[in-house]
Amino acid sequence: MLDSLKLELLWLIIEQEETVISSKMSDAEIIKYTLEQLKAQMLLSNSELIDIYIYVQSRIPLIRDIAEVQSVKILKK
């Protein structure tokens, strides 16, 4: 189970103003990117990595929507 700190950090990574996530990335690339970013900021056990993998995989459509909105915001600047 993911605690609130990990979830908050995960969504901060996803919602970064100039995020690397784009609609052209595959699901696997999005998952890999978010896991790598989270691992760079905190120590995670194997079971936590699995939980995060499953969580991110289940939120791919939402993550893609957020990335699309952010790319539009960047283009308007």
| Residue 53 belongs to some domain of the structure | yes
The residue behind tokens 């079971």 is: 47
| Residue 36 belongs to some domain of the structure | yes
The domain tally of the chain equals: 1
Which residue segment(s) compose the domain that 46 sits in? 6-11+22-76
**Across residues 37-53, what is the average pLDDT?**
94
| Residue 16 belongs to some domain of the structure | no
| Residue 17 belongs to some domain of the structure | no
User: What confidence category does residue 23 fall into, taking pLDDT thresholds of 50, 70 and 90?
Assistant: confident
Instruction: Give the model confidence (pLDDT) of 30-42 as tens digits.
Output: 999 999 999 999 9
Helical spans, DSSP H, in the chain = 4-14, 27-41, 46-58, 60-76
The overall average pLDDT reported for the chain is 88
Q: What is the pTM of this model?
A: 0.85
